[in-house]
Chain A
């Protein structure tokens, strides 16, 4: 699965995107974030405050309980500050 990062989440993780093979028990957005945090210190730091992390599955906003299903691309980012 392709994972993309934006803004300070991207800066803290240290890459713009990565493609990962996920364990079978990673089925929801929340599972995915928990899994990413185990990868290394950068991921753990970037995603430490799960409450503020926003998620899009295939470019649609979703809540943490959402199943990943057939998602091709997950994006993780801070609360948006456009406008």
Chain B
């Protein structure tokens, strides 16, 4: 039976080490945990911060749908997704995915799948705050992200 993923949408930072422990504590069937942590870049020193707007309610629901799809598709022993919102500065963590499985392939693929669909389907939008010139523009969606997501069809 597919596991029930853990999904959190929050303003606060998170601790990847603690999240990995939650997936492995007290169990002996986990063969590997693959994690992805996304950080805020400074875009060559240009960026003061990113402001992440989200659609409360739908953000949790949509990530939950994507995560459940991954859990149905791969034999995972656990799956955690965290996505932050609000103002995030360069060097800070934005997003976290951890997939645990008895064998590595499922964990690698599930986390890759999760990130592709978080990019294209989770209702978040990034606005740039610039070091010089105040509020910049909204980050534009990349067609490469759509192409990445289409790999899983």
Contacts and interface: CB of A to CB of B under 8 A. Distances in A.
Q: Among A6, A75, A77, A82, which residue has the most Cβ atoms of chain B within 10 A?
A: A82
A56 B123 contact: yes
Contacts of B122: 80, 82-83
Given A56-B58, A61-B62, A77 B139 contact: no
Contacts of B38: 83
A81 B139 contact: yes
Contact of B55 (A8, A59, A83): A59
Contacts of B94: 83
Q: Chain B interface residue count: which class? A: 20 to 34
Given A59-B62, A82-B83, A77 B140 contact: no
Contacts of A79: 120, 140-141
B83 A81 contact: no
B119 to A, nearest CB: 4
Nearest to B61: A59
Q: Chain A interface residue count: which class? A: 10 to 19
A80 B141 contact: yes
Given A7-B138, A61-B62, A82 B57 contact: no
The B interface is mostly helix, strand or loop, or mixed, namely mixed
Interface in A3-18: 4, 6-8
B148 to A, nearest CB: 10
A78 interface: yes
Contacts of A61: 62, 121
Nearest to A82: B124
Contacts of B103: none
B140 A81 contact: yes
B8 interface: no
A8 B115 CA distance: 23
Interface string A28-66: 000000000000000000000000000010011100000
Nearest to B59: A82
Interface in B128-153: 138-141, 145
Interface of B: 38, 52-55, 57-58, 61-62, 83, 94-95, 115, 118-127, 138-141, 145
